[in-house]
């Protein structure tokens, strides 16, 4: 499974990219606002220079004509741009036009298997089901992932990748991987939680203490 980081924070992206664990980046208007960056286009351009994999940049409008114009502007920023559009009739129309021309498209705000089918038929590169937001309203986000993976797997003509979004915990990541999702886009804080286990910390502390007792050092 590929790991994308869900942030517009350049320092976070640089740090995680250096680990070799990062396959791409997703952004959205909320994350851009949170970053405090005053130039959206320049911010996205900087991100595409840091990460070789797909960088999702979202349109800001909701009507087809304006959305299409914005999408074309975003697609010109770099070859690794995935234009992010909402799962609406206008958004899927933009998706169809872009994907027909070879542009990567991330269809976002997916909350049902029916919507995911529409995204695949429109030629989306990625569909982004929001598991955490479904959990928030008492529905099972991971059940949706299982349904979409099963449906996509039944049709060889569907090339759309399942990009698990609104990830809230390491278990969301593990469950998504178990179900065969292609990508998880994960907040930096949750990526760091994936490293954590009390037995790892305990074992490392013991190793360090035992090594001190030998009085030795390893030349560097």
- What is the model's pLDDT at position 77? 97
- What is the model's pLDDT at position 189? 96
Inter-residue contact 30 to 211 (CB < 8 Å): no
In-domain check, residue 159: yes
Residue with token string 């089918």: 117
In-domain check, residue 12: yes
Structural Rg of the chain based on CA atoms: 20
- What is the model's pLDDT at position 126? 98
Q: Which CATH number belongs to the domain containing residue 183 in this structure?
A: 3.20.20.70
- What is the model's pLDDT at position 209? 96
In-domain check, residue 205: no
Query: Would you please indicate which residues are annotated as catalytic (active-site) residues?
Result: 84
- What is the model's pLDDT at position 55? 98
The domain total for the chain is: 1
- What is the model's pLDDT at position 125? 98
Domain that holds residue 129: 2-189
- What is the model's pLDDT at position 203? 98
Using alpha carbons, select from 48, 49, 58, 59 the residue that is nearest to residue 27.
58
In-domain check, residue 59: yes
Q: pLDDT per position in the chain (220 positions), as tens? A: 999 999 999 999 999 999 999 999 999 989 999 998 889 999 999 999 999 999 999 999 999 999 999 999 999 999 999 999 999 999 999 999 999 999 999 999 999 999 999 999 999 999 999 999 999 999 999 999 999 999 999 999 999 999 999 999 999 999 999 999 999 999 999 999 999 999 999 999 999 999 999 999 999 9
- What DSSP string runs through the chain? -EEEEE---HHHHHHHHTTT---EEE--HHHHHHHT-S-HHHHHHHHHHH-SS-EEEE----SHHHHHHHHHHHHTT-TTEEEEEESSHHHHHHHHHHHHTT-EEEEEEE-SHHHHHHHHHTT-SEEEEBHHHHHHTTS-HHHHHHHHHHHHHT-TT---EEEEBS--SHHHHHHHHHHT-SEEEE-HHHHHHHH--HHHHHHHHHHHHHHHHHT-----
In-domain check, residue 217: no
In-domain check, residue 169: yes
What are the CA-CA distances from residue 2 to residues 134, 143, 166, 186 (Å)? 22, 20, 15, 10
In-domain check, residue 151: yes
In-domain check, residue 219: no
């Amino acid at each position: 499974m590929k790991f994308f980081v869900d942030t517009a924070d350049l320092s976070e992206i640089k740090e995680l990219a250096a680990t070799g664990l990062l396959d791409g980046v997703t952004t959205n208007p909320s994350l851009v606002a949170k970053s405090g960056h005053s130039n959206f286009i320049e911010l996205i351009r900087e991100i595409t220079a840091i990460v070789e994999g797909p960088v999702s940049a979202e349109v800001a409008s909701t009507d087809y004509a304006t959305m299409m114009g914005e999408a074309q502007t975003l697609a010109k920023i770099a070859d690794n741009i995935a234009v992010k559009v909402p799962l609406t009739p206008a958004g899927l129309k933009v998706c169809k036009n872009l994907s027909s021309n070879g542009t990567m498209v991330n269809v976002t705000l997916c909350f049902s298997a029916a919507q995911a089918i529409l995204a695949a038929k429109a030629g989306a590169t990625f569909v982004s089901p929001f598991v955490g937001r479904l959990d928030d309203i008492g529905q099972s986000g991971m059940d949706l992932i299982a349904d979409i993976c099963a449906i996509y797997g039944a049709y060889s003509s569907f090339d759309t990748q399942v990009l698990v979004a609104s990830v809230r915990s390491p278990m969301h990541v593990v469950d998504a991987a178990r179900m065969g999702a292609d990508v998880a886009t994960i907040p930096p804080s949750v990526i760091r939680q994936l490293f954590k286990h009390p037995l790892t910390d305990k074992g490392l502390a013991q190793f360090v203490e035992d090594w001190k007792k030998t009085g030795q050092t390893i030349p560097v």
